[in-house]
Chain A
Amino acid sequence: MSKPSDLVQGTLDMLLLKILALEPLNGFAVSERLKQISGDVLQVSDGSLYPALHKLEQEGWISAEWKTTENNRRAKFYSLTRLGRRQLEKESENWSRLSTAISRVVKLKEA
């Protein structure tokens, strides 16, 4: 299981943006969704999650709104902004380029 701290900060940002691209969620829900989608492979520790979210908000890639959840609890919901969508596209591109390159190297037949 890859530990969240092994994730480079940039990759975490991209993952969070992608999750929020699907639908607006609060912090807890985002980490649960990430776990779920990745089959428990990708887990963000609570300690890294919120600083990352706040940074994304600071950059203007996500925006926040206080809403009430189903259990009548007040929670801060994040959603992707237009700027964030552009950033996500950019980072996804970079990521595929990177991962393709890595795959190519790794798949080389050993002599």
Chain B
Amino acid sequence: MRPEHWIYAIPLRLRSLFRRREADQELDEELRCHVELKTSANIAKGMTPQEARRAALLEMGGIEKRKEECRDARHVNWLQDLLQDVRYAFRAFVRNPAFFFFAVAVLALGIGANTAIFTVAYNVLLRPLPYRNADRLVMVWEDDSAFGFPANTPSPGNFASWKSQNSVFSDVAAMDTQRFDLSGQGDPEQLLATEITANMFPLLGVKPVLGRNISPEEDTPAGDHVVILSHAVWLANFGGDPHIVGKQIWLNNFAKYTIIGVMPRGFIFPDRETQIWTPMRFSDKDLVNFGSHYLHVVARLKPGVSLSSANADLSIIAKRLQQEHPQDNAKEGAFAIPLRDRLAGSSRLAAMILLGAVGFVLLIACANVANLLLARAAGRQKELAMRMALGAGRARIVRQLLTESILLSVIAGTAGLLLALSATPFLANLIPAGLAPLAGSGINAYVLTFLVAVSIFCGVLFGLAPALRISRLDLVNAIKQSGAGSGVGAAGMRMRDLLVVAEVALALVLFSGATLMIRSFINVRNLDPGFRPAHVLAVETELPFPKYQEVSRRNAFFQQTLERINHLPGVVASGCTTWLPLTNRGGAFGIVIEGQPPLGAGHLPIPNVRMISSNYIQAIGMRLVEGRAFDDRDAAKSPLVALINQTAAKKFWGGQDPIGTRFRHFGKDKNPSITVVGVVADVRQAGLDQPPRPEIYVPYDQWDFFAPGYIAVRTTGDPMSVANAVREQVWAVDKDQPVTHVMPLEQMLADYLAPRELQSSLLGGFAGFALLLAALGIYAVLAFSVTQRTQEIGVRVTLGAQQSDILRQILTQGLKLAGLGVVIGVAGALALSQLLATLLFGVSATDPLMLAGAVAVLLVVAMVACYIPARRAMRVDPMVALRYE
């Protein structure tokens, strides 16, 4: 359109839009004026005034319809109509506040829950990792399942071999964690470092934002000591100094490290805990060490190479290594898994299950609201028929109903967003550390898009049902009919019944899944961990090397510290250990048991090893089953002794009594013999839901590798009450010794259980909500049905039906619906049970008892829901009912 056209047309269109009432009146006047003029002309032709007027009106047709057509001609209709629809919808809601609030509440909970869970799922499953082409990154592990380590941290020898012999990776890098004490920069503090090979950052595709990456020369034992800072540490500890590159800091009071770079803001690798990166500095000797397993290996797949080809290649290399290094690499395999999967772990499946569960809840909520809308629509038939008579097209009516339902949905969506915002902090436990969003609640553009899409989708979903029904009205019948007896029709009732059956089925699936998860959680929580965590304080205090390289220094430290702690008021016993339960799955080496036939490499017993002080057993409350615990006889220079756990006794000593037998650390024949003096009950080192591994415990001062790093203090009351005192005692022995992670042992266990607990609570909550909605659905359908059939019931009563007969009729109707839903639900639950299987503990996914229980609960709920409408039906007064039209 040309500009002049616009100048004229726009004011007109705007006028149509904004001064609608005026424009409307004018239109009205114009048409009536025409009728007047026509009438006069007709009179002039000779008709009587009445005839004349009638003819004129007839020729004009319906004035309202004409007005509608004129308005259509103005092409601003759609916007006007939309506004009108919205206004109309609001009026409808205000007239029916109970329905409105209920629908909004139900939907808001559904949409909000979905958004919150989606945020979690997004972070776990979808959010791109901050590395280049992150989906091509994998982690490579040793497969030592023969020894109880299905995914073991690789040895440097393996790493080097994989790197040089593979044909599927463009690069392979390694890392290890390390702790450094930072001093000379304010208070001494401990920085968690990750040692990386020089090619790690280029492999990930990231560059420091200041300075540069580690050079290959620096990644050698003779290279300079360098360090790269994380952005957070650069800001917090060094004030964001722009000239930081080249400055030096003391780490571990050992050497001056030069800062060579700062990583970009928000870059984390491998998780948020790491604050600085230093070079790995493998020596040539390291690179042929196939016996120590402690690395994490990251690799990038070559373009076009699939994961399965990479795994095939690794298997070939592993087999070759098995033959080249029969002692160290016996039965060792190798495999790669995508980096994201590794970071996500079991939370991946949990996130998907929760997403599915909350999706079910939303479907049930929508079904409920659809049901309500259908019921409401039945009551609005007359009103809608009237509108159609007044000229509204069928499409217009459908549009109006959809506008209503989408508006409802959008309002609910907004409320749901607020809900989600407040809920997401509580869901943080479901996101593993490596994938957690860096700031805020993690609600970002994707999540909001999801929210809007879901809201609109829901609106259309449950709005469509009544909208489609209404369009097929029989106009005349609808206006003639004067009561609730008007036909939503058999089809309408069928749709509502279908919705209820679907609701019940979904609710059953959800409920049975939730009970299984909750049962699992209870099972895990009730497991005997093998020790008594109540009243015990756990303290992490790793001795830094090279300060404590000397064994005697280490022993002296612990001796003095423990002595001091024992004298504190309220302390019952204290002990130290290399690793507390739940802090390390491994820490193991091979042993050779004297008197047993020699087993070749690859069949060696490899128990976990824990080096402890003599009172450690008491301190954490382990149980001595046989023999004796450590005491003063077992000093540093005394004959070597050990305790073994029941699993080790059963597995490696067979039926024999292990007390008094001897074994050696595998490796060199001149390793001294160790005598078994006692057997302790199993401790679940790897995790409460992991089977216990065979373990041996030895006095820490008899050994010179694997230094203790944890202290356990048993108190008479609240363990935190001695926390400060314990710290002081440590510093009294060594004022620079960092003490990290002081917490009650019970809290450590609780933290371990936390994700599982959260999952169970959430599923339980969703299931409960779903049950409630299903019950309401059944109630609504039955109540409506009773109202519809009041006449019929009246007739039956008149013909002699007893109250109990009526009651039975209604109950049967309700239970039929529920029963059908239950049958479908059971099928669904069984179909989905495999999905749940890996997350369960101590209960099978197809446990018939649990399933039967869920069915029973649902049927009881259904019966309760039937009760009120059934009672109402019972009390129908035939006289009133028969008169009721």
Residue in B closest to A26 when the chains form the complex, CB atoms = B33
Contact A60 B8, beta carbon cutoff 8 Å: yes
Contact B75 A28, beta carbon cutoff 8 Å: no
Given A58-B74, A76-B26, A50-B8 contact (CB < 8 Å): no
Chain A's interface size range is: 20 to 34
Contact B33 A59, beta carbon cutoff 8 Å: no
B69 CB within 8 Å of chain A: yes
B38 CB within 8 Å of chain A: yes
Choose among B4, B30, B59, B70 the residue with the greatest number of A CB atoms under 10 Å from its CB. Answer: B30
B288 CB within 8 Å of chain A: no
Of the candidates B8, B31, B61, B69, the one whose C-beta lies within 8 Å of that of A81 is B8
Which residues from A are CB-within-8-Å of B72? 51
Which residues from A are CB-within-8-Å of B26? 66, 76
Contact A75 B8, beta carbon cutoff 8 Å: no
Which residues from A are CB-within-8-Å of B59? 45-46
Contact B4 A52, beta carbon cutoff 8 Å: no
Q: How far is the CB of A24 from chain B (nearest CB, A)?
A: 15
Which residues from B are CB-within-8-Å of A26? 33-34, 37
Residue in A closest to B75 when the chains form the complex, CB atoms = A58
Residue in A closest to B33 when the chains form the complex, CB atoms = A75
Which residues from A are CB-within-8-Å of B69? 47, 50-51
CA distance A75 to B29 in the complex (A): 8
Contact A51 B66, beta carbon cutoff 8 Å: yes
Contact A47 B66, beta carbon cutoff 8 Å: yes
Contact B37 A28, beta carbon cutoff 8 Å: yes
CA distance A72 to B60 in the complex (A): 22
Given A52-B73, A76-B33, A46-B61 contact (CB < 8 Å): yes
Contact B61 A47, beta carbon cutoff 8 Å: yes
CA distance A45 to B75 in the complex (A): 22
CA distance A81 to B27 in the complex (A): 21
Q: How far is the CB of B7 from chain A (nearest CB, A)?
A: 8
Contact A73 B13, beta carbon cutoff 8 Å: no
Q: How far is the CB of A57 from chain B (nearest CB, A)?
A: 7
CA distance A75 to B38 in the complex (A): 13
Binary flags per residue of B110-125, CB closer than 8 Å to A gives 1, else 0:
0000000000000000
Q: How far is the CB of B20 from chain A (nearest CB, A)?
A: 14
Contact A59 B74, beta carbon cutoff 8 Å: no
**Which residues of A, 25-81, contact B by the 8 Å Cβ criterion?**
26-29, 32, 45-47, 50-52, 54-55, 57-60, 63, 66, 71, 73-76, 81
Which residues from B are CB-within-8-Å of A60? 4-5, 8-9, 12
Contact A59 B9, beta carbon cutoff 8 Å: yes
Of the candidates A47, A52, A57, A59, the one whose C-beta lies within 8 Å of that of B60 is A47
A7 CB within 8 Å of chain B: no
A98 CB within 8 Å of chain B: no
B41 CB within 8 Å of chain A: yes
Q: How far is the CB of B76 from chain A (nearest CB, A)?
A: 9
Given A51-B72, A60-B8, A60-B12, A74-B33 contact (CB < 8 Å): yes
Residue in A closest to B41 when the chains form the complex, CB atoms = A32
Binary flags per residue of B1-21, CB closer than 8 Å to A gives 1, else 0:
000110011001100000000
CA distance A88 to B66 in the complex (A): 26
Contact B8 A73, beta carbon cutoff 8 Å: no
Which residues from A are CB-within-8-Å of B74? 54-55, 58
Which residues from B are CB-within-8-Å of A29? 37
Contact A58 B61, beta carbon cutoff 8 Å: no
Contact A57 B12, beta carbon cutoff 8 Å: yes
B634 CB within 8 Å of chain A: no
B728 CB within 8 Å of chain A: no
Contact B66 A59, beta carbon cutoff 8 Å: no
Q: How far is the CB of A46 from chain B (nearest CB, A)?
A: 5
Contact B33 A46, beta carbon cutoff 8 Å: no
Contact B13 A58, beta carbon cutoff 8 Å: yes
Which residues from B are CB-within-8-Å of A32? 41
Choose among B27, B40, B60, B73 the residue with the greatest number of A CB atoms under 10 Å from its CB. Answer: B73
Contact A50 B33, beta carbon cutoff 8 Å: no
Of the candidates A47, A55, A74, the one whose C-beta lies within 8 Å of that of B29 is A74
Contact B73 A83, beta carbon cutoff 8 Å: no
CA distance A76 to B8 in the complex (A): 18
Which residues from A are CB-within-8-Å of B38? 28, 46
B36 CB within 8 Å of chain A: yes
Contact A28 B5, beta carbon cutoff 8 Å: no
CA distance A60 to B9 in the complex (A): 6
Residue in B closest to A48 when the chains form the complex, CB atoms = B69
Contact B8 A83, beta carbon cutoff 8 Å: yes
CA distance A51 to B59 in the complex (A): 15
Contact B73 A55, beta carbon cutoff 8 Å: yes
CA distance A80 to B4 in the complex (A): 15
Which residues from B are CB-within-8-Å of A83? 4-5, 8
Given A47-B61, A58-B73, A73-B33 contact (CB < 8 Å): yes
17 A-B pairs (CB sep. < 8 Å)? A26-B34, A28-B33, A45-B59, A46-B38, A46-B59, A50-B70, A51-B73, A52-B73, A54-B74, A55-B73, A58-B9, A58-B73, A58-B75, A59-B9, A60-B5, A60-B9, A75-B37
User: A-contacting residues of B (Cβ < 8 Å)?
Assistant: 4-5, 8-9, 12-13, 26-27, 29-31, 33-34, 36-38, 40-41, 59-61, 66, 69-70, 72-75
Given contacts A46-B66, A54-B74, 9 further A-B contacts (CB under 8 A): A26-B34, A46-B34, A50-B31, A50-B70, A51-B72, A51-B73, A54-B27, A57-B12, A58-B9
A-B residue pairs, 5 tightest by C-beta: A60-B8, A55-B73, A28-B37, A51-B69, A54-B70
